[in-house]
Amino acid sequence: MVSQELLDILRCPSCVRSTEGLLDLYQDCWLICQDCGRKYPIVEDIPVMLIEEGDKWIQTSREQLPVPPPEIK
């Protein structure tokens, strides 16, 4: 589980330069940007905050996100 302290400081790396880039925790395994909709997986309790990874899931609805997220290769 990712600590609340870390969740409080994480921001979307794509949006943080122009907006707040706030993230919503979804199903305890995804971080979803409130501004752009990029979705960042949490794999083995580590948020994968790469823009490229968020881009992979941007068109996927919340309900269709795999729980747990797939392993990053």
pLDDT confidence of residue 72: 81
Per-domain residue ranges for the chain?
4-64
Check whether 73 has a pLDDT greater than 80.
no
pLDDT confidence of residue 71: 87
pLDDT confidence of residue 24: 96
CATH number belonging to domain 4-64? 2.20.25
pLDDT confidence of residue 1: 81
pLDDT 10s digits, 2-54: 889 999 999 999 999 999 999 999 999 999 999 999 999 999 999 999 999 99
Q: Convert 39-68 to b/e letters by CB count within 10 Å (16 or more is b).
A: bbbbeeeebebeeebbeebeeeeeeebeee
pLDDT confidence of residue 50: 96
